[in-house]
Structure 1
Amino acid sequence: MNNDQWFTTIPTLETEKYILRGIQLEDASRLFPFLRDKETMKNITAHPVQSEEEVRQGIIDSLAKFDKQQEIPWVIIHKRNNDLVGQFRLHKLSLWHQKAEMGAVIREDYQNKGVMTEIIKVLLPFVFDTLRLHRLVGDIFARNDGSRKLLEKFGFTKEGVLRDTDYDGVKFHDTVVYSMLRKEYEWKKKYA
Protein backbone atom coordinates (compact mmCIF):
# COMPACT_ATOMS: atom_id res chain seq x y z
CA MET A 1 0.00 0.00 0.00
CA ASN A 2 1.48 3.33 -1.06
CA ASN A 3 -0.38 6.30 0.38
CA ASP A 4 2.43 8.83 0.06
CA GLN A 5 0.43 10.70 -2.58
CA TRP A 6 -2.27 11.52 0.03
CA PHE A 7 0.27 13.11 2.35
CA THR A 8 1.67 15.84 0.11
CA THR A 9 -1.42 18.04 0.41
CA ILE A 10 -4.47 17.40 2.58
CA PRO A 11 -7.08 16.05 0.15
CA THR A 12 -10.36 17.91 -0.33
CA LEU A 13 -13.56 15.89 0.04
CA GLU A 14 -17.00 17.13 -1.01
CA THR A 15 -20.56 16.28 -0.08
CA GLU A 16 -23.75 17.81 -1.43
CA LYS A 17 -23.63 20.72 1.03
CA TYR A 18 -20.13 20.66 2.54
CA ILE A 19 -16.45 20.73 1.67
CA LEU A 20 -13.79 19.14 3.84
CA ARG A 21 -10.61 21.06 3.17
CA GLY A 22 -7.27 20.93 4.88
CA ILE A 23 -7.07 22.90 8.10
CA GLN A 24 -4.96 26.08 8.00
CA LEU A 25 -3.54 28.38 10.67
CA GLU A 26 -5.92 31.09 9.46
CA ASP A 27 -8.84 28.91 10.61
CA ALA A 28 -7.97 29.43 14.29
CA SER A 29 -10.08 32.57 14.69
CA ARG A 30 -13.16 30.85 13.22
CA LEU A 31 -12.65 27.65 15.22
CA PHE A 32 -11.98 29.27 18.59
CA PRO A 33 -15.55 30.45 19.39
CA PHE A 34 -16.96 26.92 19.38
CA LEU A 35 -13.86 25.00 20.50
CA ARG A 36 -13.90 27.04 23.73
CA ASP A 37 -17.65 26.47 24.32
CA LYS A 38 -18.20 23.98 27.16
CA GLU A 39 -21.59 22.87 25.81
CA THR A 40 -20.23 22.17 22.32
CA MET A 41 -17.22 20.34 23.76
CA LYS A 42 -18.99 18.41 26.55
CA ASN A 43 -18.72 15.06 24.74
CA ILE A 44 -15.09 15.63 23.78
CA THR A 45 -13.28 17.27 26.69
CA ALA A 46 -14.02 18.84 30.03
CA HIS A 47 -11.24 21.35 29.38
CA PRO A 48 -11.94 23.32 26.18
CA VAL A 49 -9.26 25.62 24.80
CA GLN A 50 -8.89 28.97 26.54
CA SER A 51 -7.29 31.04 23.80
CA GLU A 52 -7.00 31.41 20.06
CA GLU A 53 -3.29 30.70 20.49
CA GLU A 54 -4.15 27.24 21.88
CA VAL A 55 -6.21 26.61 18.75
CA ARG A 56 -3.30 27.75 16.57
CA GLN A 57 -0.95 25.40 18.43
CA GLY A 58 -3.43 22.55 17.95
CA ILE A 59 -3.47 23.26 14.21
CA ILE A 60 0.34 23.32 14.11
CA ASP A 61 0.40 19.97 15.94
CA SER A 62 -2.18 18.46 13.56
CA LEU A 63 -0.26 19.64 10.49
CA ALA A 64 2.95 18.15 11.93
CA LYS A 65 1.15 14.84 12.42
CA PHE A 66 -0.11 15.05 8.84
CA ASP A 67 3.50 15.45 7.66
CA LYS A 68 4.33 12.27 9.63
CA GLN A 69 1.32 10.46 8.06
CA GLN A 70 -0.34 10.15 11.48
CA GLU A 71 -3.40 12.38 10.96
CA ILE A 72 -5.52 14.03 8.28
CA PRO A 73 -7.07 17.24 9.66
CA TRP A 74 -9.92 19.05 7.91
CA VAL A 75 -12.33 21.88 8.52
CA ILE A 76 -15.92 21.55 7.34
CA ILE A 77 -17.12 24.44 5.18
CA HIS A 78 -20.74 25.00 4.14
CA LYS A 79 -20.82 25.48 0.35
CA ARG A 80 -23.75 27.89 0.35
CA ASN A 81 -22.53 30.49 2.85
CA ASN A 82 -18.85 29.59 3.44
CA ASP A 83 -19.53 29.03 7.17
CA LEU A 84 -16.89 27.02 8.98
CA VAL A 85 -19.24 24.56 10.66
CA GLY A 86 -16.77 22.22 12.29
CA GLN A 87 -13.59 20.27 12.17
CA PHE A 88 -13.00 16.63 11.35
CA ARG A 89 -9.90 14.53 11.47
CA LEU A 90 -8.65 11.05 10.99
CA HIS A 91 -6.27 10.70 13.91
CA LYS A 92 -4.26 7.91 15.51
CA LEU A 93 -3.67 7.03 11.87
CA SER A 94 -1.32 4.13 11.23
CA LEU A 95 -0.64 3.13 7.64
CA TRP A 96 1.30 0.09 8.86
CA HIS A 97 -1.63 -1.18 10.94
CA GLN A 98 -4.08 0.22 8.35
CA LYS A 99 -6.33 1.94 10.87
CA ALA A 100 -7.52 5.33 12.06
CA GLU A 101 -9.94 6.96 14.49
CA MET A 102 -12.45 9.65 13.67
CA GLY A 103 -12.73 12.89 15.59
CA ALA A 104 -15.29 15.62 14.94
CA VAL A 105 -16.49 18.86 16.48
CA ILE A 106 -19.58 20.52 14.99
CA ARG A 107 -20.66 24.06 15.84
CA GLU A 108 -23.74 24.06 18.08
CA ASP A 109 -26.00 25.76 15.51
CA TYR A 110 -25.17 23.01 12.97
CA GLN A 111 -25.58 20.05 15.31
CA ASN A 112 -28.42 17.58 14.60
CA LYS A 113 -28.75 18.89 11.04
CA GLY A 114 -27.20 15.97 9.15
CA VAL A 115 -23.68 17.37 8.76
CA MET A 116 -21.96 14.22 9.96
CA THR A 117 -24.31 11.98 7.99
CA GLU A 118 -23.08 13.69 4.81
CA ILE A 119 -19.46 13.58 5.95
CA ILE A 120 -19.52 9.85 6.76
CA LYS A 121 -20.99 9.08 3.32
CA VAL A 122 -17.86 10.48 1.60
CA LEU A 123 -15.43 9.53 4.34
CA LEU A 124 -16.04 5.78 4.21
CA PRO A 125 -15.08 5.45 0.52
CA PHE A 126 -12.01 7.63 1.13
CA VAL A 127 -10.90 5.53 4.11
CA PHE A 128 -11.57 2.10 2.67
CA ASP A 129 -11.33 2.51 -1.11
CA THR A 130 -8.72 5.25 -1.44
CA LEU A 131 -6.48 4.86 1.62
CA ARG A 132 -7.25 1.12 1.75
CA LEU A 133 -7.36 1.12 5.54
CA HIS A 134 -8.55 -2.02 7.28
CA ARG A 135 -10.20 -0.50 10.38
CA LEU A 136 -11.98 2.75 11.25
CA VAL A 137 -12.86 3.57 14.85
CA GLY A 138 -15.37 5.87 16.49
CA ASP A 139 -14.48 6.28 20.17
CA ILE A 140 -17.24 8.22 21.98
CA PHE A 141 -18.41 9.17 25.46
CA ALA A 142 -21.16 6.76 26.55
CA ARG A 143 -23.59 9.67 27.02
CA ASN A 144 -23.12 10.87 23.41
CA ASP A 145 -26.40 9.60 21.93
CA GLY A 146 -26.05 11.58 18.70
CA SER A 147 -22.72 9.99 17.79
CA ARG A 148 -23.93 6.55 18.90
CA LYS A 149 -26.96 6.78 16.60
CA LEU A 150 -24.79 8.00 13.71
CA LEU A 151 -22.28 5.17 14.03
CA GLU A 152 -25.01 2.55 14.37
CA LYS A 153 -26.86 4.00 11.37
CA PHE A 154 -23.78 3.42 9.22
CA GLY A 155 -23.28 -0.11 10.53
CA PHE A 156 -20.36 0.35 12.90
CA THR A 157 -20.03 -2.48 15.42
CA LYS A 158 -20.06 -1.72 19.12
CA GLU A 159 -16.95 -3.40 20.49
CA GLY A 160 -17.37 -2.54 24.12
CA VAL A 161 -17.36 -0.04 26.92
CA LEU A 162 -14.16 1.27 28.48
CA ARG A 163 -15.09 2.08 32.05
CA ASP A 164 -14.19 5.40 33.68
CA THR A 165 -11.70 6.37 30.96
CA ASP A 166 -12.13 10.15 31.16
CA TYR A 167 -12.28 12.45 34.17
CA ASP A 168 -13.87 15.89 33.88
CA GLY A 169 -12.76 17.25 37.25
CA VAL A 170 -15.95 16.07 38.97
CA LYS A 171 -16.65 12.54 37.80
CA PHE A 172 -15.42 9.79 35.49
CA HIS A 173 -17.06 8.94 32.16
CA ASP A 174 -17.24 5.70 30.20
CA THR A 175 -16.14 5.53 26.58
CA VAL A 176 -17.82 3.30 23.98
CA VAL A 177 -15.72 1.97 21.11
CA TYR A 178 -17.29 1.37 17.69
CA SER A 179 -15.48 0.13 14.61
CA MET A 180 -15.94 -0.79 10.98
CA LEU A 181 -13.65 -3.15 9.10
CA ARG A 182 -13.02 -2.92 5.37
CA LYS A 183 -14.77 -6.27 4.72
CA GLU A 184 -17.89 -4.92 6.49
CA TYR A 185 -17.76 -1.72 4.46
CA GLU A 186 -17.40 -3.73 1.23
CA TRP A 187 -20.29 -6.01 2.18
CA LYS A 188 -22.55 -3.01 2.95
CA LYS A 189 -21.52 -1.29 -0.28
CA LYS A 190 -22.36 -4.41 -2.27
CA TYR A 191 -25.60 -5.43 -0.55
CA ALA A 192 -27.06 -2.36 1.10
Structure 2
Amino acid sequence: MKQHQALTEIPILETKNYLLRGVALDDASRLFAFMQDKITMQFITPHPVQTEEEMEAAIKQYLAKFQEQKEIPWVIIHKEDGALIGQFRLHKLHMWHRKAEMGAVIQQDYQKTGVMTEVLGVILPYVFETLNLNRLVGDIFSGNEGSRRLLEKFGFKKEGVLRHTDFDGQAFHDTVVYSMLKHEYEA
Protein backbone atom coordinates (compact mmCIF):
# COMPACT_ATOMS: atom_id res chain seq x y z
CA MET A 1 0.00 0.00 0.00
CA LYS A 2 1.41 3.40 -0.93
CA GLN A 3 1.58 6.06 1.74
CA HIS A 4 -1.03 8.28 0.08
CA GLN A 5 -3.67 5.55 -0.28
CA ALA A 6 -6.43 5.52 2.31
CA LEU A 7 -7.96 2.38 3.75
CA THR A 8 -11.62 2.33 2.82
CA GLU A 9 -12.57 -0.92 4.52
CA ILE A 10 -11.08 -3.24 7.09
CA PRO A 11 -9.49 -6.14 5.22
CA ILE A 12 -10.30 -9.75 6.00
CA LEU A 13 -7.22 -11.77 6.95
CA GLU A 14 -7.23 -15.53 7.21
CA THR A 15 -5.10 -18.16 8.93
CA LYS A 16 -5.52 -21.92 8.92
CA ASN A 17 -7.97 -21.85 11.85
CA TYR A 18 -9.02 -18.21 12.25
CA LEU A 19 -10.60 -15.36 10.37
CA LEU A 20 -9.84 -11.74 11.19
CA ARG A 21 -12.65 -9.46 10.05
CA GLY A 22 -13.53 -5.88 10.88
CA VAL A 23 -15.23 -5.34 14.21
CA ALA A 24 -18.92 -4.41 14.01
CA LEU A 25 -21.40 -3.00 16.53
CA ASP A 26 -23.27 -6.29 16.65
CA ASP A 27 -20.09 -7.90 18.05
CA ALA A 28 -20.54 -5.97 21.31
CA SER A 29 -22.25 -8.71 23.35
CA ARG A 30 -19.77 -11.41 22.29
CA LEU A 31 -16.77 -9.14 22.97
CA PHE A 32 -18.24 -8.00 26.28
CA ALA A 33 -18.55 -11.64 27.39
CA PHE A 34 -14.76 -11.86 27.82
CA MET A 35 -13.56 -8.25 27.78
CA GLN A 36 -15.35 -7.54 31.05
CA ASP A 37 -13.47 -10.38 32.76
CA LYS A 38 -10.72 -9.10 35.08
CA ILE A 39 -8.61 -12.26 34.65
CA THR A 40 -8.74 -12.07 30.84
CA MET A 41 -7.91 -8.37 30.98
CA GLN A 42 -5.26 -8.56 33.73
CA PHE A 43 -2.39 -7.70 31.35
CA ILE A 44 -4.42 -5.19 29.31
CA THR A 45 -6.15 -2.84 31.72
CA PRO A 46 -7.08 -2.70 35.39
CA HIS A 47 -10.46 -1.24 34.34
CA PRO A 48 -12.24 -3.53 31.85
CA VAL A 49 -15.59 -2.54 30.35
CA GLN A 50 -18.46 -2.85 32.82
CA THR A 51 -21.49 -2.93 30.49
CA GLU A 52 -22.40 -3.88 26.93
CA GLU A 53 -23.07 -0.19 26.34
CA GLU A 54 -19.44 0.58 27.24
CA MET A 55 -18.35 -2.15 24.81
CA GLU A 56 -20.53 -0.60 22.07
CA ALA A 57 -18.99 2.82 22.79
CA ALA A 58 -15.50 1.30 22.53
CA ILE A 59 -16.40 -0.30 19.18
CA LYS A 60 -17.73 3.05 17.91
CA GLN A 61 -14.45 4.64 18.96
CA TYR A 62 -12.42 1.92 17.16
CA LEU A 63 -14.46 2.46 13.99
CA ALA A 64 -14.18 6.25 14.21
CA LYS A 65 -10.40 5.92 14.52
CA PHE A 66 -10.44 3.60 11.50
CA GLN A 67 -12.23 6.33 9.52
CA GLU A 68 -9.45 8.71 10.61
CA GLN A 69 -6.85 6.15 9.44
CA LYS A 70 -5.49 5.82 12.99
CA GLU A 71 -6.52 2.25 13.72
CA ILE A 72 -7.50 -1.08 12.17
CA PRO A 73 -9.77 -3.10 14.51
CA TRP A 74 -10.49 -6.78 13.90
CA VAL A 75 -12.31 -9.55 15.72
CA ILE A 76 -10.88 -13.06 15.63
CA ILE A 77 -13.35 -15.75 14.58
CA HIS A 78 -12.72 -19.49 15.00
CA LYS A 79 -13.41 -20.89 11.52
CA GLU A 80 -14.58 -24.30 12.74
CA ASP A 81 -17.49 -23.12 14.88
CA GLY A 82 -17.83 -19.38 14.16
CA ALA A 83 -17.03 -18.41 17.76
CA LEU A 84 -15.72 -14.90 18.33
CA ILE A 85 -12.64 -15.64 20.41
CA GLY A 86 -10.68 -12.42 20.42
CA GLN A 87 -9.89 -8.95 19.25
CA PHE A 88 -6.80 -7.64 17.47
CA ARG A 89 -6.10 -3.98 16.79
CA LEU A 90 -3.43 -2.02 15.02
CA HIS A 91 -3.71 1.27 16.89
CA LYS A 92 -1.73 4.48 17.03
CA LEU A 93 -1.47 3.87 13.28
CA HIS A 94 0.43 6.65 11.55
CA MET A 95 0.83 6.22 7.80
CA TRP A 96 3.24 9.15 7.34
CA HIS A 97 5.63 7.87 10.00
CA ARG A 98 4.82 4.30 8.87
CA LYS A 99 4.28 2.87 12.33
CA ALA A 100 1.64 1.24 14.50
CA GLU A 101 1.16 -0.48 17.83
CA MET A 102 -0.68 -3.75 18.21
CA GLY A 103 -3.01 -4.96 20.87
CA ALA A 104 -4.84 -8.25 21.33
CA VAL A 105 -7.33 -9.75 23.72
CA ILE A 106 -7.97 -13.48 23.54
CA GLN A 107 -10.83 -15.22 25.33
CA GLN A 108 -9.43 -17.15 28.30
CA ASP A 109 -10.35 -20.61 26.92
CA TYR A 110 -8.21 -19.91 23.83
CA GLN A 111 -5.18 -18.39 25.54
CA LYS A 112 -1.94 -20.38 25.20
CA THR A 113 -3.38 -22.46 22.34
CA GLY A 114 -1.43 -20.89 19.44
CA VAL A 115 -4.07 -18.35 18.36
CA MET A 116 -1.66 -15.41 18.44
CA THR A 117 1.07 -17.40 16.71
CA GLU A 118 -1.31 -17.89 13.77
CA VAL A 119 -2.57 -14.30 13.92
CA LEU A 120 0.93 -12.78 13.89
CA GLY A 121 1.73 -15.04 10.96
CA VAL A 122 -0.72 -13.01 8.83
CA ILE A 123 -0.44 -9.66 10.61
CA LEU A 124 3.30 -9.23 10.03
CA PRO A 125 3.11 -9.61 6.23
CA TYR A 126 0.08 -7.30 6.19
CA VAL A 127 1.88 -4.65 8.26
CA PHE A 128 5.23 -4.72 6.48
CA GLU A 129 4.29 -5.74 2.93
CA THR A 130 0.76 -4.45 2.34
CA LEU A 131 0.71 -1.36 4.54
CA ASN A 132 4.47 -0.84 4.02
CA LEU A 133 4.99 0.21 7.63
CA ASN A 134 8.49 0.50 9.01
CA ARG A 135 7.82 -0.09 12.72
CA LEU A 136 5.44 -2.28 14.72
CA VAL A 137 5.31 -2.02 18.51
CA GLY A 138 4.03 -4.39 21.17
CA ASP A 139 3.75 -2.88 24.67
CA ILE A 140 3.13 -5.45 27.39
CA PHE A 141 2.81 -5.47 31.16
CA SER A 142 6.06 -6.78 32.62
CA GLY A 143 4.33 -9.83 34.12
CA ASN A 144 2.85 -10.96 30.81
CA GLU A 145 5.17 -13.90 30.14
CA GLY A 146 3.04 -15.39 27.34
CA SER A 147 3.16 -12.20 25.27
CA ARG A 148 6.87 -11.76 25.99
CA ARG A 149 7.62 -15.26 24.68
CA LEU A 150 5.42 -14.68 21.61
CA LEU A 151 7.08 -11.39 20.68
CA GLU A 152 10.58 -12.79 21.18
CA LYS A 153 9.66 -15.91 19.16
CA PHE A 154 8.79 -13.66 16.20
CA GLY A 155 11.99 -11.64 16.55
CA PHE A 156 10.69 -8.48 18.22
CA LYS A 157 13.44 -6.58 20.02
CA LYS A 158 13.09 -5.40 23.60
CA GLU A 159 13.57 -1.64 23.65
CA GLY A 160 13.17 -1.01 27.33
CA VAL A 161 10.97 -0.81 30.37
CA LEU A 162 8.63 2.05 31.20
CA ARG A 163 8.43 2.09 34.98
CA HIS A 164 5.13 2.20 36.86
CA THR A 165 3.02 3.11 33.84
CA ASP A 166 -0.25 1.56 35.07
CA PHE A 167 -2.00 1.40 38.44
CA ASP A 168 -4.53 -1.34 39.11
CA GLY A 169 -5.91 0.06 42.34
CA GLN A 170 -3.38 -1.80 44.48
CA ALA A 171 -0.02 -1.78 42.71
CA PHE A 172 1.87 -0.08 39.90
CA HIS A 173 2.96 -2.10 36.87
CA ASP A 174 5.85 -1.63 34.47
CA THR A 175 5.38 -1.77 30.70
CA VAL A 176 7.96 -3.52 28.50
CA VAL A 177 8.26 -2.12 24.98
CA TYR A 178 9.08 -4.44 22.07
CA SER A 179 9.34 -3.49 18.41
CA MET A 180 10.07 -4.91 15.00
CA LEU A 181 11.39 -2.86 12.09
CA LYS A 182 10.72 -3.64 8.47
CA HIS A 183 14.33 -4.64 7.72
CA GLU A 184 14.21 -7.06 10.67
CA TYR A 185 10.99 -8.59 9.33
CA GLU A 186 12.59 -8.95 5.88
CA ALA A 187 15.67 -10.64 7.34
**Normalised by the shorter chain, which TM-score bucket?**
over 0.9
**In 2, distance between residues paired with 1:16 and 1:3?**
32
**In 1, distance between residues paired with 2:106 and 2:4?**
28
Quick one: which amino acid aligns to residue 155 of structure 1? G
1:33 to partner: Cα distance: 1.1
Could you state the TM-score of these two structures normalised by the residue count of structure 2?
0.98
> Relative to total residues, which structure has the larger helix share, 1 or 2?
1
Structure 1 match to 2:129: 129
- What whole-Å deviation, never above 9, does each CA across 1:95-151 have from its counterpart, x for those lacking one? 011000000000000000000000000000000000000000000000000000000
Structure 1 match to 2:81: 81
Answer yes or no: is 1:18 the counterpart of 2:18: yes
1:3 to partner: Cα distance: 5.6
* Corresponding residue SS for 1:28: helix
Count matched residues.
Answer: 186
Task: Tell me, yes or no, if the aligned pair for 1:138 and 1:179 is still in contact at 8 Å.
Answer: yes
Aligned pairs for 1:1-192 within 5 A? 1-2=2-3, 4-5=5-6, 7-187=7-187
- What whole-Å deviation, never above 9, does each CA across 1:37-60 have from its counterpart, x for those lacking one? 000000001111100000000000
Quick one: which amino acid aligns to residue 105 of structure 1? V
- What whole-Å deviation, never above 9, does each CA across 1:162-189 have from its counterpart, x for those lacking one? 00011111110000000000000001xx
Quick one: which amino acid aligns to residue 114 of structure 2? G
**In 1, distance between residues paired with 2:143 and 2:157?**
17
Please list every run of 5 or more consecutive structure 1 residues that lacks an aligned counterpart in the other structure: 188-192
**In 2, distance between residues paired with 1:13 and 1:2?**
21
* Corresponding residue SS for 1:164: strand
Could you state the TM-score of these two structures normalised by the residue count of structure 1?
0.95
1:4 to partner: Cα distance: 2.9
**In 1, distance between residues paired with 2:185 and 2:44?**
26
Identical-residue share of aligned pairs (%): 66
Give the superposed CA RMSD: 0.8
Please list every run of 5 or more consecutive structure 2 residues that lacks an aligned counterpart in the other structure: none
